[in-house]
């Protein structure tokens, strides 16, 4: 069973990346353009308003990049940092715990994007088209499944 799960891991990671990136981009689009219910106030954030407009721009751009798997690790690092900033500057002053201060989505996005920084985009990503060293998941499995040589 675990062998099958391990084989599916790069694809599950890619699906995770697409869903998280899409949801993040939707937050940015809602705040920037007033679509999908708009920002917290229900309208678009005024252009140049600190920090809301810049946060929404980061959400939209990094969300799209992560969804596509283009510059995933860098985009995810920026997104994770922006959510850490949002949590500690907006939510945490009200209360320590996310459930009490309304910062659940900031905390979850922060950690999800940080995970993508370390894991990479998964099996299906635009990055793979541009990487000279891109290997298929099958090639990665055979490389990782081999035991390392022990020097004599």
CA distance 151 to 142: 21
Task: Calculate the alpha carbon distances from 56 to 3, 19, 44, 138 in Å.
Answer: 40, 18, 10, 38
Contact between 91 and 103 under an 8 Å Cβ cutoff? The reply is yes
pLDDT tens over the chain, length 152 residues? 889 999 999 999 999 999 999 999 999 999 999 888 766 667 788 888 888 899 999 999 999 999 999 999 999 999 999 999 999 999 999 998 999 999 999 999 999 999 999 999 999 999 888 876 656 555 555 555 555 555 55
Which is nearest to 77 in space by CA: 127, 108, 117? 117
Tokens of 43: 């309208």
CA distance 20 to 75: 12
Runs of H (alpha helix) within 49-103: 52-68, 72-86, 98-101
CA distance 138 to 96: 44
Kindly provide the residue ranges of all beta strands, DSSP E only, lying in the chain, ordered along the sequence: none
Tokens of 120: 């990479």
Q: Omega into 51 within 30° of 0, i.e. cis?
A: yes
Task: Calculate the alpha carbon distances from 113 to 49, 64, 131 in Å.
Answer: 25, 13, 21
The pTM of this model reads: 0.81
Q: What angle do CA 33, 104, 39 make, to 5 degrees?
A: 15
């Amino acid at each position: 069973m675990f062998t099958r799960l391990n084989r599916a891991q790069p694809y599950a990671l890619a699906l995770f990346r697409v869903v998280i990136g899409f949801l993040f981009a939707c937050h940015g689009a809602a705040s920037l353009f007033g679509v999908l219910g708009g920002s917290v106030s229900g309208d678009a954030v005024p252009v140049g308003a600190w920090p809301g407009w810049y946060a929404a721009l980061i959400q939209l751009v990094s969300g799209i990049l992560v969804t596509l798997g283009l510059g995933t690790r860098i985009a995810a690092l920026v997104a994770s940092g922006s959510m850490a900033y949002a949590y500690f500057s907006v939510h945490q002053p009200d209360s320590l715990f996310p459930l009490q201060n309304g910062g659940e989505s900031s905390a979850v996005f922060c950690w999800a994007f940080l995970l993508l920084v370390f894991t990479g985009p998964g099996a299906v990503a635009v990055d793979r088209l541009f990487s000279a060293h891109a290997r298929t998941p099958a090639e990665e499995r055979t490389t990782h499944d081999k035991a390392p040589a022990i020097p004599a």
